[in-house]
Amino acid sequence: MRILLTGAAGFIGSAIADTLTAHGHETVALDALLPQAHGVEPETRHPLVRGDVRDAELVRELLRGVDLVCHQAAMVGHGVDPSDMPAFAAHNDLGTAVLLAAMHEAGVRRLVLASSMVVYGEGRYRCAEHGLVRPGQRRAEDIGAGRFEPPCPRCGEPLESESVPEDAVLDPRSTYAATKLAQEHLAAAWARQTGGDVRALRYHNVYGPRMPSGTPYAGVASLFRSALERGEAPTVLEDGGQRRDFVHVRDVAAANLAAVGTQAPPGELDAVNICSGRPRTIGDLARELSLACGGPAPEVVGGARPNDVRHIVADPAKADRVLGFRASVAFADGVREFADAPLREAVGER
């Protein structure tokens, strides 16, 4: 199969490119090489077209003879500064719209879309008295006082965190999250209008080789690893008890391969959690990585970034059912590998 892969030089995109090529697919690789993600121009194992997915003429040219698009290109990051909003919307949403329009013109009807668990916002919570509830925005005074668990919005009692299924309420709580949900909405509209099909893969906390190092655009695993390389203790916010699902980048690449090989229902967007199904805490990650690197123990400092959520873990059942995908890299094994894995240079490094 001939596949246009956007964001092909990125952390996740490059792993997908390796996996697709290894399984006999012809990959047309496109990447804008945004400095926030790459710092310096990365070495790639595959021929790469340097260009922007918003360049309609270029995208139309690259779509010739293509059977499917695997859309990974995006501006990533927490997006806490509203002044970043135009850039996030331009890269993620306008870029996706340009791509979808070009796919329509080219008659390409299959899309695998990189989405994210951030579209859920807070995870799924249950109150002993009121059942499933949606907690409100976390309050600065609670975080400052060390009250990190969101209370029931009806009775104020503690909530129990559960795994999030794909049909959960969507509640993006950052600029990046809002643009990822907008990508899903655009792709769903395209599918309805064209009869095409979309697999939206909602990645959970991805880690592994080739992550960008020491930059706010990287994930927490990279930030911890960068601190340890400097001989510093990883800094853990809140109390370290935040639950997440850490999934290795090779598993994410395998999930994309599975999505390429299985057609979604025509005329709709089909969202699928891509996760390990084995939740861990942020503190667990920091401790395991410190041990693997032989570095200082993590330092728990309290506080939280604006719009951070407390718990978000995933239900892996649908990925198994519709893709035949199950994560294979165990957490301990993946962290040990990550402790020695090559990272990308941080922005501005040489």
In degrees and rounded to multiples of 5, residue 9 shows phi and psi of -95, 0
Which is it for the CA torsion 274, 279, 280, 281, positive or negative?
positive
Going by pLDDT thresholds of 50, 70 and 90, the confidence category of residue 306 is confident
3-class SS of residue 292:
helix
User: Which pLDDT band, with edges at 50, 70 and 90, does 46 fall under?
Assistant: confident
Structure confidence by residue, pLDDT tens digits, 235-251: 999 999 999 999 999 99
Structure tokens at 153: 């919005």
Report CA 145 to chain centroid distance, whole Å: 31
pLDDT at residue 36, rounded to an integer: 66
Write the CB contacts of 338 (distance below 8 Å, at least 6 apart in sequence).
Answer: 207, 208, 209, 221, 225, 289, 292
pLDDT higher than 90, residue 39: no
Residue 165 CB contacts under 8 Å (≥ 6 apart), including other chains: 124, 273, 315, 317, 318
The average confidence (pLDDT) of the chain is 93
Query: What is the identity of the amino acid at 122?
Result: E
Query: How much helix, strand and coil, in percent to the nearest 5, is found in the chain?
Result: 35, 20, 45
When pLDDT is cut at 50, 70 and 90, the band that residue 348 belongs to is very low
Output the pLDDT for position 12: 95
Number of Cβ within a 10 Å radius of residue 131: 9
- How far is 82 from 80, CA to CA, in rounded Å? 6
Tens digits of residue pLDDT in 131-171 = 999 998 888 899 999 999 999 999 999 999 999 999 999 99
Q: How does pLDDT run across 230-289, given as a tens digit for each residue? A: 999 999 999 999 999 999 999 999 999 999 999 999 999 999 999 999 999 999 999 999
pLDDT at 37: 64
pLDDT of residue 350: 36
- For residue 43, what pLDDT is reported? 60
Query: Is residue 203 pLDDT above 90, yes or no?
Result: yes
pLDDT interval class at 207 (50, 70, 90)? very high
- Whether 27 has a pLDDT exceeding 80, the answer reads yes
The fraction of the chain above a pLDDT of 90, given in percent, is 83
pLDDT value of position 209: 92
Catalytic, 176? Answer: yes
Whole-angstrom distance, CA of residue 160 vs CA of residue 122 = 12
Residue 82 or 331, more confident:
331
**Other C-beta atoms lying within 10 Å of the C-beta of residue 322:** 17
The structural domains of the chain, with segments of one domain joined by +, span 2-123+164-340, 124-163
Please say whether the beta carbons of 235 and 298 come within 8 A. Answer: yes
What's the CA gap between 349 and 200, in Å, rounded? 34
CA–CA dist 69, 183 (Å, integer): 14
DSSP 190-254: HHHHH--EEEEEEE-EEE-TTPBPSSTTS-HHHHHHHHHHTTPPPEEEBTS--EE-EEEHHHHHH
**pLDDT average, residue stretch 53-77:** 96
How much of the chain exceeds pLDDT 70, in percent?
A: 94
Identify which of 219, 200, 195, 194 has the alpha carbon closest to the alpha carbon of residue 209.
219
Average pLDDT over residues 192-212: 95
Q: Is the pLDDT of residue 29 over 80?
A: yes
d(CA 195, CA 125): 36
Quick one: CATH architecture of 2-123+164-340?
A: 3-Layer(aba) Sandwich (3.40)
Which of 120, 125, 176, 217 is the catalytic position?
176
